[in-house]
Structure 1
């Protein structure tokens, strides 16, 4: 029998807008008992919460700076006091900086991206994972949103790529650790999508065979993969082929191919949102 979110507690980071809001809608549509929304944007977060309250599920909206460990610890304690531990954890919050590495500022760019994209999922997961492990009778799910940038190097994405390579390595290692230690009731799904039309990657040019993805499609397929306990989901499917090509071709041969496919120039005209936030 497959996993069902009905009656469960679902926690979603970056829940105020974009994919986070869509994940929240999917949780409500699957009749989750409670949906916990984390985001740093208080106004947008409340709008999403109000939308979900009309569905009948319990909703808890918390303003959380996932880049700050103390903020995460405080919010997690409140969740445990009210709901216990979540059955489904969706680590969705992410930020991007699109420029050459030497143009990054240490604090506002490099540290910020690594804190939100890499350390935050680790901090958050560690707050709830021990209870998930101890409750061996109930299936739990962890859904980590990584990126295709975590599998293929791309100019003007050095720090973002680093953050997602780390996320992918951590997420899949965690999956294996849980299996090895006999905690198979906690399943980890890692999603590596290419560019998504959420506004976060405005200005990018999609590589050949990798169309810009819709957030609705990515969240729906990610949610299905999570419920099935699928270890890894790469979107679009052409990413699986590029992964093989990169592994078997000599580096310079792969570089020539990736350049011709447009991978290495996809960020040339990147603008992104006017104001980047941890959403």
Structure 2
């Protein structure tokens, strides 16, 4: 892919606010042919489209679709409509996610916590990608898939057990998909997996950044992810201590890791004061 997404169709989930909106702004700024924005919040999505329209001045076609990614059947219906109206995207950014935190697993609810977290964070990216991937392969144009996971998917963390599980599932699937595409000779479609620590978007308000992993500036993350996406970089770990933690997790005995890294770095206490939005 070139140095920008100029002329490409870019689909972003969770696009009405936060990081999703920032990715949409980047697509518009670079002259994407179309920005396809998905979110479940109809009002916020409409406002985002209006505001991006002022920035775009008609250079980028803006298309919005209200869909709850926790309803897996709705994904297929929305994808069918997008294909019919616009064709397959060239760039798919699976950004939408939710977190339920500050409670131990046995205090959570399967219907309100476990099911939606696993559906939106893990299954929705798989379902949505499966809808568009055959077309992305057949188009033979450079294409990109970005899966926004989390450092929580690389190491267990108290008070966010299901969230960590959902992101671990996303990481395993995302990297396996990357390898499958390479093995099958479809290297024009590249997958980037992103595993950031806490980001200052409000989603993790109250969470404390562990030692060596301060809460990240959203603009910095967007820029790093965007450049990695264009380059087809397989993995983005932010900050660098995420890579260190992952390496130590593989090298140290579990109990030693728990004491030295989990407790010592403050990872295992980072969610105690979580108050962020769902």
Please give the range of the TM-score, normalised by the shorter of the 2 chains. over 0.9
* 2: CA distance, partners of 1:181 / 1:225: 22
Tell me if structure 2 keeps the 8 A contact 1:3–1:139.
no
1:108 aligns with 2:112: yes
Match runs of 1:79-98 below 5 Å: 79-98=82-101
Pairwise CA distance, 1:250: 0.7
Query: What is the aligned partner in structure 1 of residue 152 from structure 2?
Result: 149
TM-score (norm 2): 0.96
1:242 aligns with 2:251: no
Tell me if structure 1 keeps the 8 A contact 2:144–2:189.
yes
SS in 1 for 2:214: coil
How well do the aligned residues superpose, as a CA RMSD in angstroms? Answer: 0.9
Match runs of 1:117-196 below 5 Å: 117-136=121-140, 138-196=141-199
TM-score (norm 1): 0.96
SS in 1 for 2:237: strand
Query: What is the aligned partner in structure 2 of residue 33 from structure 1?
Result: 33
* 2: CA distance, partners of 1:215 / 1:38: 20
Q: 1:66 aligns with which of 66, 69, 82?
A: 69
* 2: CA distance, partners of 1:198 / 1:103: 26
SS in 2 for 1:11: strand
1:263 aligns with 2:267: yes
Query: What is the aligned partner in structure 2 of residue 43 from structure 1?
Result: 43
Pairwise CA distance, 1:242: 1.1
* 1: CA distance, partners of 2:139 / 2:37: 23
- Give ranges in structure 2 of 5+ residues lacking alignment: none
Q: 1:75 aligns with which of 70, 74, 78?
A: 78
Match runs of 1:217-228 below 5 Å: 217-228=220-231
* 2: CA distance, partners of 1:232 / 1:38: 24
SS in 1 for 2:118: helix
* 2: CA distance, partners of 1:194 / 1:209: 10
Q: How many residues align?
A: 273
Pairwise CA distance, 1:3: 5.2
- Give ranges in structure 1 of 5+ residues lacking alignment: none
Post-superposition Cα deviations, 1:85-117, rounded to whole Å, max 9, x if no partner, equal 000000000000112110110111000100000
* 2: CA distance, partners of 1:170 / 1:231: 13
* 1: CA distance, partners of 2:2 / 2:15: 25
* 2: CA distance, partners of 1:175 / 1:156: 31
SS in 2 for 1:192: strand
**Moved >4 Å (runs of 4+):** none
Post-superposition Cα deviations, 1:232-278, rounded to whole Å, max 9, x if no partner, equal 000001111111111101111100012011001001111112xx2xx
* 2: CA distance, partners of 1:182 / 1:158: 37
Query: What is the aligned partner in structure 2 of residue 53 from structure 1?
Result: 53
